[in-house]
Amino acid sequence: MAGATTLGDFASAIGARTAESAVIAELKAGSEDAYAWLIGEFHQPIYGLIYRIVNDPSDAADTTQDVFLKVFRGMKQFQGESSLKTWIYRIALHEASNRRRWWFRHKAQETPIEGEAGETEFSGDDRLVDPGESPFEQFAHAEVRAVVEQALAHVTEPYRTAVILRDLEDMPYDEIAEVLQISLGTVKSRITRGRDALRKRLKGYVREAGMELGLALPAGQDQERNQGSNGGREVEVTP
């Protein structure tokens, strides 16, 4: 693309254009600047999304690489029926689901040579890269974020993916519907049920640690605890 000799120039040129088709055209033409922009724009969020699904940094890194290989190879066949972001996220979810199924079929049956201690531990320092609305915004403490992520890992599909896309990726409802190829009503239903499942899993932890961390259960779920919480934040989730 003329004039876009550096990644910064290319990003500026992208920002000046109103049509996504111009970006796609550069990608289809094999522009190195375009692909550098694509990786810079999507690598971290795609890795974060996949990591939350497969729960293993090595598998997440490998799967992320597979996603971008599929994007590069499939770009010329991309017809623009959806947005570029939607298309990439759809590929990422497909690859992450395949990796997770493979793990349950094969890797989960392996016996590690080293001790198993620490396998279920969470550092909590970098897992919630971009926390969105409740319940995640309520948990600023690293220890609590780790507990939330561990609880999220036990929320069943397809509700977990819907919650991840909405509350961690901050994706609009209509965009989630497009990515998952389901109706808007189904999106809202899955998010509601996923949030409810997550809230139930966190309820016991909030009862035990809420006083110390300034958290409180929603009104009506633990009235006595809330009355003595001295203004603790409610772990409330609203669709």
Domain boundary residue among 74, 108, 142?
108
The pLDDT of residue 10: 61
Q: Does one domain contain both 103 and 150?
A: no
Count of domains forming the chain:
2
Residue 75: other Cβ atoms inside 10 A: 18
Q: Does one domain contain both 134 and 104?
A: no
Report the alpha-carbon distance of residue 210 to residue 204 in Å, rounded. Answer: 9
Q: Does one domain contain both 101 and 134?
A: no
Residue 176 tokens read as 């989630």
Bridge partners, residue 129, by sequence? none
- The amino acid occupying position 36 is A
Report the alpha-carbon distance of residue 40 to residue 187 in Å, rounded. Answer: 29
Q: Does one domain contain both 165 and 213?
A: yes
Q: Does one domain contain both 228 and 132?
A: yes
Report the alpha-carbon distance of residue 222 to residue 203 in Å, rounded. Answer: 9
Q: Does one domain contain both 70 and 129?
A: no
The pLDDT of residue 190: 94
Please, what are the averages of pLDDT over each run of 10 residues along the chain (239 residues)?
Answer: 55 53 87 90 93 88 94 89 90 89 57 40 40 49 75 90 90 93 94 92 76 55 45 41
Q: Residue 222: which CATH number?
A: 1.10.10.10
Is 201 domain-assigned? yes
Is 2 domain-assigned? no
Report the alpha-carbon distance of residue 176 to residue 172 in Å, rounded. Answer: 6
Domain boundary residue among 79, 108, 137?
108
Q: Does one domain contain both 39 and 92?
A: yes
Task: Report pTM.
Answer: 0.63
Write out the residue range of the structural domain in which residue 139 sits: 124-239
Report the alpha-carbon distance of residue 7 to residue 9 in Å, rounded. Answer: 5
Q: Does one domain contain both 130 and 233?
A: yes
Task: Please say whether the dihedral angle defined by the alpha carbons of residues 218, 221, 223 and 225, taken in this order, is positive or negative.
Answer: negative
Nearest in space to 91 (alpha carbons), one of 128, 131, 42, 130: 42
Q: Which helix (H) or strand (E) holds 151?
A: helix 142-153
CA dist 43 → 67, 88, 219 (Å): 10, 10, 40
Domain boundary residue among 42, 75, 108?
108
The pLDDT of residue 219: 54
Is 218 domain-assigned? yes
Q: Does one domain contain both 129 and 61?
A: no
How many CA atoms are closer than 13 Å to the CA of 1, on its beta-carbon side? Answer: 26
41 contacts: CB under 8 Å, gap ≥ 6 = none
The pLDDT of residue 115: 36
Is 1 domain-assigned? no
